[in-house]
Amino acid sequence: MTQTKIKHQPPYIIAVLPRYVEIRTFEPRLLVQSVELQRPRFITSAGPNIVYVASNHFVWRLVPVSIASQIRQLLQDKQFELALQLAKMKDDSDGDKKQQIHHIQNLYAFNLFCQKRFDDSMQVFAKLGTDPTHVIGLYPDLLPSDYRKQLHYPNPLPTLSGAELEKAHLALIDYLTQKRSHLVKQLNDSDPSTTSPLMEGTPTIKSRKKLLQIIDTTLLKCYLHTNVALVSPLLRLENNHCHIEESEYVLKKAHKYSELIILYEKKGLHQKALQVLLDQSTKANSPLKGHERTVQYLQRLGVDNLGIIFEFSPWVLKICPEDGLKIFTEDLTEVETLPRDKVLNFLKEGFKELAIPYLEHIIYVWDDKGPEFHNVLIQLYLERVQGLMKQYLNSLPEGVPAVAAGKEDGDLGEFRNKLLSFLDISTSYEPARLISDFPFDGLLEERALLLGRMGKHEQALFIYVHILKDTRMAEEYCHSHYNSSVDGNKDVYLSLLRMYLSPPDVHCLGPIKMELSEPQANLQAALHVLELHHSKLNTTKAINLLPANTQIREIRVFLESVLEEKAQRKRCNQVLKSLLQAEFLRVQEERIFHQQVKCVITEEKTCRVCKKKIGNSAFARYPNGVVVHYFCCKDRTVCPTEQ
């Protein structure tokens, strides 16, 4: 027997001391047992689990307790690392051994948690693949009470509060973030989750979706306890799985209404979100006080939620019409794609005063050419002008005439200017549908613009000349409508001349409700038109309209201008004819010069490119006389060099 004082029997180290034998472990460094013997001196091993100790007079055999008993005792003593070493040494089947090792590791992680070594505990749980809900259950108030009652643990859980609880939450956040990342990367939602229980017999969550829901909801609660700034980024995640009712409860309890709005928005609960915004809008200390957040929220909803927009926009439109209108006019894709006809009807029914600025925005800013919108804007302008006009006329002192159209003070002048301007510049409205809305006893300038757009120049000019008695406006009308290339507009100045010289009957306008004197001819105005606009008149027709007793001296300026224009035009035509004749002669000379050049193709003539005879083939001749096959002429600007 070899004489020695120490032997290694994994996982133990056995040493002989003067009065006893001591059994220790190397990792972890523990004193396992001391056996008193009479002056032991030597120790030896005869194989696994066979150890002899000898003195001068005795020999003892040390027999180890079974590994299963050792493990049970070690677990009671919470010596989990040593228990793991022994479990790996057992001769059980692989399945049983693996199960027991896993159980011991779970107990070890649980014990680390109880020792408040939270980071170490979470790392072990992460490696084991323990069901996250069992880990979350270690913390107070993070799981629903009904589910929490189904979980069991080896020992009572430690009481956590204050800084310890915050530290525990931070460790849990790291653990859950890692778990969440792993679950999100799984492509198939239907794949069952492969988690294991902390204690055998405890139910686990198999659904990946359900597990993500619990993890995200728990992360939300942890962030509320540790770092509120991370709540919003979590809720804004596209794959956020927070449980709605549970998250709603904790956010309300923490008075985190801005974050609650994000939760509702991401879950599509727009009515709940907007109701919260409405409730908070009047609370003095609320971060959601006012209507701005409601406007921003409604602007992002889009056409699919038009009903909700109509439901929650009225309160904003009432307290701040200008900001409320931005719900329908902001330069956002979601706003621009809203059905404009439905928005217009909504505004006309409840907020008619906003229909005009809405139409002005879609026409002037968004450049909407829809005739219906242009028609409605004119009708709304007309209604507003008529109402204001009635008030204006009633306020005038007796005998004081009304001012010119668009020159009125206040809102009347503003809206009448808008109406006149829009009738003039818009090309999309339908005058034939609108003219019946305009009265015969007022707003004659507007009616004249409609008649002009319909091509009824005689009726429009009658209004300017014989009702409004404004020759300047009549001439401006002709200037804006004259077009020598359009049949209906090329004789508009002739119509003005006729209106001055041969005015029609008063009733050409229809059922006029105004007392008008019989129209009188205005020779001086007619002569003025002849002098200024002779180039835009058919001379023969214009002279035929003049009264028979018109003196030559009265139209002398007109005739001189016409004759001078005719003479000038004749001179221009003569010069142009001479220039064209000279150009014709030059071209003829150039043609004759080129025709004098002869090109003789003999039987011996060869192509300068391919060197073959020209023969009867098509050919091309360069200015320097070089002849090639037409096929060989690749670039007409480059002549092949002569050989």
Are residue 582 and residue 618 in the same domain, yes or no? no
* pLDDT at position 2: 47
* pLDDT at position 508: 54
Task: Tell me what percent of the residues of the chain surpass a pLDDT of 90.
Answer: 42
Instruction: Give me the domain span that covers residue 569.
Output: 558-597
Is the model more confident about 92 or about 577? Answer: 577
Residue with tokens 């043609």: 591
Mean pLDDT taken over the chain: 85
* pLDDT at position 643: 43
Structural domains counted in the chain? 3
Write the CB contacts of 284 (distance below 8 Å, at least 6 apart in sequence).
Answer: none
Phi, psi (rounded to 5 degrees) for 243? -70, 125
Mean pLDDT, range 552-573, rounded to an integer: 83
The three-state secondary structure class of 71 is helix
Please state which of the ranges 14-28, 201-215, 366-380 shows the lowest mean pLDDT.
Answer: 14-28
Q: Residue 605 has which token pair? A: 């003539």
Task: Decide if pLDDT at 219 tops 80.
Answer: yes
Is the model more confident about 303 or about 540? Answer: 303
Confirm whether 68 is domain-assigned: no
Mean pLDDT, range 164-174, rounded to an integer: 94
What is d(CA 101, CA 103) in angstroms, rounded to the nearest whole number?
Answer: 5
Are residue 603 and residue 593 in the same domain, yes or no? no
What is d(CA 306, CA 338) in angstroms, rounded to the nearest whole number?
Answer: 8
Task: Decide if pLDDT at 513 tops 50.
Answer: no
Do residues 256 and 224 lie in contact, with contact meaning Cβ atoms separated by under 8 Å?
yes
Give the neighbor-by-neighbor strand order of the sheet with 42-47. 42-47, 50-54, 59-62
Confirm whether 418 is domain-assigned: no
Nearest to 389 by CA among 338, 441, 339, 354: 441
Task: Decide if pLDDT at 88 tops 80.
Answer: no
The top-scoring range by mean pLDDT among 187-196, 299-308, 403-412, 503-512 is 299-308
Instruction: Say how many CA atoms lie within 13 Å of 97 toward its Cβ.
Output: 12
What is d(CA 248, CA 268) in angstroms, rounded to the nearest whole number?
Answer: 14
DSSP labels, 83-97: HHHHHHH--S-HHHH
Are residue 564 and residue 591 in the same domain, yes or no? yes
pLDDT band at 532 (very low <50, low <70, confident <90, very high): confident
Mean pLDDT, range 338-344, rounded to an integer: 96
Task: Decide if pLDDT at 231 tops 90.
Answer: yes
- Look at residues 17, 42, 61 and tell me which one is the last residue of a structural domain: 61
* pLDDT at position 67: 66
Task: Decide if pLDDT at 507 tops 80.
Answer: no
Confirm whether 42 is domain-assigned: yes
Please state which of the ranges 98-107, 222-231, 281-290 shows the lowest mean pLDDT.
Answer: 98-107
Write the CB contacts of 299 (distance below 8 Å, at least 6 apart in sequence).
Answer: 326, 327, 330, 332, 334, 335
Confirm whether 352 is domain-assigned: no
Please state which of the ranges 277-291, 389-403, 482-496, 507-521 shows the lowest mean pLDDT.
Answer: 507-521
Confirm whether 77 is domain-assigned: no
Confirm whether 10 is domain-assigned: yes
Confirm whether 310 is domain-assigned: no
pLDDT digits (tens, 9 = 90+) for 59-80: 787 777 766 767 677 666 667 7
Confirm whether 525 is domain-assigned: no
pLDDT digits (tens, 9 = 90+) for 383-429: 999 988 888 777 777 655 566 666 777 888 899 999 999 999 999 99
Please state which of the ranges 33-42, 157-166, 576-585, 632-641 shows the lowest mean pLDDT.
Answer: 33-42
Task: Decide if pLDDT at 205 tops 90.
Answer: no
* pLDDT at position 557: 79
Are residue 623 and residue 586 in the same domain, yes or no? no
Q: Residue 594 has which token pair? A: 């080129």
What is d(CA 309, CA 292) in angstroms, rounded to the nearest whole number?
Answer: 15
Task: Decide if pLDDT at 510 tops 60.
Answer: no
Do residues 37 and 20 lie in contact, with contact meaning Cβ atoms separated by under 8 Å?
yes
The top-scoring range by mean pLDDT among 363-372, 391-400, 462-471 is 363-372
pLDDT digits (tens, 9 = 90+) for 235-292: 999 888 999 999 999 999 999 999 999 999 999 999 999 999 999 999 888 889 999 9
Angle CA 303–304–308, to nearest 5: 90
